[in-house]
Structure 1
């Protein structure tokens, strides 16, 4: 049997890689510039070569040496998306943000290595930029069949609302992105039976924010199971929320047990950044709870000796592994159909 190999660009802590591995791919190379992310990635994917380097400094020869003559089956990546905020999406021309160049670096590596298949994930707003139109056009010019759409990961068994743009492509033949199966997984199902942060032996589950007495009192007054700042007595509301139609209702809001989580972002360990309070307990969710809501396995490792904000960014910026698994499995089936790589279970 052919062992399908892959490369993970902008790998972060390894959410995309985790899904690819679960689908049967072997990651030959991961590229990531952030040191904390590289540390976390290596804790979970020790067999992959990891380059801590700016992707713009990665040469064709460097990757070819690591591939050692093997054909690349899947080149996947999630270029950092801060340069494509929804606030700026009405500007369909070029945007002066150096992070936008990273999409073109993705394109460069595709052209240099011509993998059989490709996958890219990003914020929905990228679809509105001429840069994305350029990407798709040039990929088609070199022979790739391309499909893309904006989807919500909640429709793929991830316990979280999170809209993402997904693009897949293949040199072998027509390919479509995987569609969700509408499996609903709730907050209760993934964190409802966790041991308490006081009793756990999972150190990542013990990390939580420390609040002033005033903030803690505000949290205690927030109704259980979905309450938010708008439910507080006027005297406890933040000044920026005391006027009508001002502020964000989700700030200092609680998650709902029997619903999806709000989008887990890089601010997920700070209740002032969104609806990140535990449904019942008077605290923000722990890093382990945030990771589970991102669909990471319960035993996934994260570095402990980094600032809490850095840890939140590792978790919030990751591609949910379950979503990656479904998209990667779809690509693997596509490769099987063209390369005749059937397993004994097929």
Structure 2
């Protein structure tokens, strides 16, 4: 059997690559210009090469030669999960992230040249809302012209075995047959926070500022005394900042007389619900609903990774909590990636050869 192989553009720390590997697809390489992801990727994605490169400068023939690829290869999966800050609904510096808006167009350049059997694109829903400006419409038009069968939609990863509400645009295209390939949905109940976190799942109670130097990495950011005091007033299991809103010494000036805005700030997760979207700032209680359901602290590095469906064997090699959180928050949840990979593998094995 000609085994499926994949090249993962904008790979980050390896969420998509890990899921594809778990599905049974051989990942040849991950490509990213962020050096801080390199050590984590190389440590965890066995057999894959990390290519540190700016995709705007990388040439098609150069990459093809380096990885020993062939054009028009039915068994090649080309993956592009470009950084998505420009198209995100979260407030970001659009000027700072403007270069990233063309990353999908650059990925299409490699797809055109290699004409692989399968193409995967994963991004924020904003690329679909603005499909002309993002280059998505042009990409889809090219895929249709090349006779690819195309699936694209907005999916919530909670429907695919991830204990988190996270909506993502996903496109899977194949030119092997006319069968539309879509991620495999979970047949069991949707996971919630209590299914994966808490002492019964191996997470011992810790305090803000705890450093865990073991491979488990149950480390958590520290908190100022006033923030520790604020959290004492935030109700367990889903409480929010309104718990201290009437305390003049604790209320934040920016929230005075604003009871309905940004209520997730200083908010706790619910045990019986999926977590909110794990962002690159999940280690900070002032950047969203990232307070532990019971304990007076933010989520730990390992808790954030677990809510993103990274296995506990996945070790992050960085120099700070912020750097690790950035890798985790930017990642494609590996379980979701695995379900994309299995769907592709099933299509190739049953219908594509």
TM-score (norm 1): 0.90
1:3-49 alpha-carbon deviations (Å, 9 max, x no partner): 21101010011000111001110011110111111111111014111
Map residues 89-104 of structure 1 onto 2, 5 A cutoff. Answer: 97-104=98-105
Unaligned 5+ residue runs, structure 2? Answer: 92-96
Per mean C-alpha deviation after superposition, the further-off stretch among 105-114 and 127-136 is 127-136
Quote the residue 2:171 is aligned against: 167
Quote the residue 2:269 is aligned against: 255
CA change 1:325–1:223 in 2 (3 A) is same
Q: What is the CA RMSD across the aligned residues, in angstroms?
A: 2.0
- Give how far 1:195 is off: 3.5
Map residues 32-51 of structure 1 onto 2, 5 A cutoff. Answer: 32-51=32-51
Contact 2:184–2:342 at 8 Å: present in 1 too?
A: no
Identify which of 160, 164, 178 aligns with 2:183: 178
Map residues 96-245 of structure 1 onto 2, 5 A cutoff. Answer: 97-129=98-130, 130=132, 131-174=135-178, 175-178=180-183, 180-181=185-186, 183-192=189-198, 193-196=201-204, 197=206, 202-203=214-215, 205-235=217-247, 236-244=250-258
- Between the aligned partners of 2:173 and 2:182, the Cα distance in structure 1 is 9
CA change 1:242–1:300 in 2 (3 A) is same
1:169-212 alpha-carbon deviations (Å, 9 max, x no partner): 01112223225236311111111222324797735534211111
1:127-157 alpha-carbon deviations (Å, 9 max, x no partner): 0220211111122222322110001011111
- State the secondary structure of the residue aligned to 1:251: coil
- Between the aligned partners of 1:204 and 1:24, the Cα distance in structure 2 is 25
CA change 1:69–1:218 in 2 (3 A) is closer
- Between the aligned partners of 1:14 and 1:286, the Cα distance in structure 2 is 20
Contact 1:185–1:260 at 8 Å: present in 2 too?
A: yes
CA change 1:36–1:339 in 2 (3 A) is same
- Give how far 1:69 is off: 4.7
1:192-235 alpha-carbon deviations (Å, 9 max, x no partner): 22232479773553421111111110012211111110222412
- State the secondary structure of the residue aligned to 1:164: strand
- Give how far 1:318 is off: 0.3
Contact 2:162–2:308 at 8 Å: present in 1 too?
A: yes
- State the secondary structure of the residue aligned to 1:234: coil
- The number of aligned residues is 332
TM-score (norm 2): 0.89
Quote the residue 1:92 is aligned against: none
- Between the aligned partners of 1:323 and 1:141, the Cα distance in structure 2 is 28
CA change 1:170–1:312 in 2 (3 A) is same
- Between the aligned partners of 1:86 and 1:286, the Cα distance in structure 2 is 25
Contact 1:204–1:286 at 8 Å: present in 2 too?
A: no
- State the secondary structure of the residue aligned to 2:56: helix
Structure 1 residue 79 and structure 2 residue 82: aligned?
yes
Quote the residue 1:264 is aligned against: 278
Unaligned 5+ residue runs, structure 1? Answer: 89-95, 341-346
